[in-house]
Amino acid sequence: MASIVYAMETLQVFRENSVVTVTINQPEKKNAINSAMWDGLAEIFREIASRADDRVVVVTGAGNDFGSGADLSGRGGNAAAAGASAGAHNQVHHLAAMRRVNDACIALQRLPQPTIAKVRGVAVGAGCNLALGCDLVVASSTARFSEIFARRGLSLDFGGSWLLPRRIGMHRAKELALLAEIISANDALEMGLINRVLPDGEVDAFVDNWARKLAAGPPIALAQTKRLLNNSLNVTLEEALDDEAAAQTINFATSDTAEAMRAFIEKREPKFTGR
């Protein structure tokens, strides 16, 4: 059963068969994200995290682009000069604005469900890191990625300083961040930033297929696997093994693991319920 369940015009949430699609809907601005939209994304992600019926999340942009990052309209020219003269008050304002960006980033990372970014067109700045913050990234062959911040006189945000070294190593992370070049989808794939590059006409079907497979998987086990991998660079091998043992203990207590064992013996596909 399909439903649209979020009222904000610039953010759309569509649910069908346990797959939630979150669409940034401001195509006339290449899906730039303003403060209200950051708040909305954080709210949406937190709400999804609490729903057992939501098995997988697809994040995408309306029209021909994924996202051009934060909506900076009104901050250039005279607005920037006025802001500079405002001194400490201006700094407090921008710190508060960044907390809203950070809340959305944390809410995305805390999602227990697998997440897929479906990328067409530009994914730059915070829009790039929104895509890279998903567990899997599928891009059209015409997609373009950039940590464009330096071109705007800015440093990384939306978790870019944390994400990039983990995705591609420190030296390539610095290459992308310091040079702020726009790279093709194929270059992003070669670097290891993304998972797949496909012709534009094949992207939707491919993401739908991955989403269906993930939605049919064991939710508890997938959530724990995601958590273990996300934590892997912050723990020792001994700690990782302890965490794996604790996760498997939980899995063996679920009806899904019992169902998987029965399905294996009966030579059929398991039907997971998340219990």
Query: In the predicted model, what is the mean pLDDT of the chain?
Result: 92
Q: What is the pLDDT of residue 87?
A: 60
Tell me the per-residue pLDDT of 189-238, one tens digit each, with 9 for 90 and over: 999 999 999 999 999 999 999 999 999 999 999 999 999 999 999 999 99
pLDDT score, position 72: 79
Separation between Cα atoms, residue 128 and residue 190, nearest integer Å: 16
The ranges assigned to domains in the chain are 2-215, 219-266
Residues recorded for the chain? 275
Burial 9-47 (b: 16+ CB within 10 A, else e): ebbbbebeebbbbbbbbbeeebbbbbeebbbbbbbbbbe
What is the residue type of 26? Q
Q: In the chain, what is the straight-line distance between the N-terminal and C-terminal CA atoms, in Å?
A: 21
Q: Are strands 136-140 and 122-124 parallel, antiparallel or unpaired?
A: unpaired
Q: How confident is the model at residue 182, as a pLDDT?
A: 98
Integer-rounded Cα Rg, in Å, for the chain is 20
pLDDT digits (tens, 9 = 90+) for 77-109: 344 444 444 565 677 777 888 999 999 999 999
* CATH T-level topology, domain 2-215: 2-enoyl-CoA Hydratase; Chain A, domain 1 (3.90.226)
pLDDT tens for residues 224-256?
Answer: 999 999 999 999 999 999 999 999 999 999 999
Residue found by looking up tokens 């723990």 in the block: 235
pLDDT number for residue 37: 96
Give pLDDT, residue 83: 47
Residue-level pLDDT at 173: 98
Q: What pLDDT does 93 receive? A: 74
**Residue 3, pLDDT above cutoff 90:** no
The pLDDT assigned to 8 comes to: 77
- 225 — phi, psi (to 5°)? -60, -45
Decide if 184 contacts 119 (C-beta within 8 A). Answer: no
**Is the per-residue pLDDT at 56 higher than 70?**
yes
pLDDT at 76 over 80: no
pLDDT tens figures, 132-158? 999 999 999 999 999 999 999 999 999
pLDDT in tens, 18-36: 999 999 999 999 999 999 9
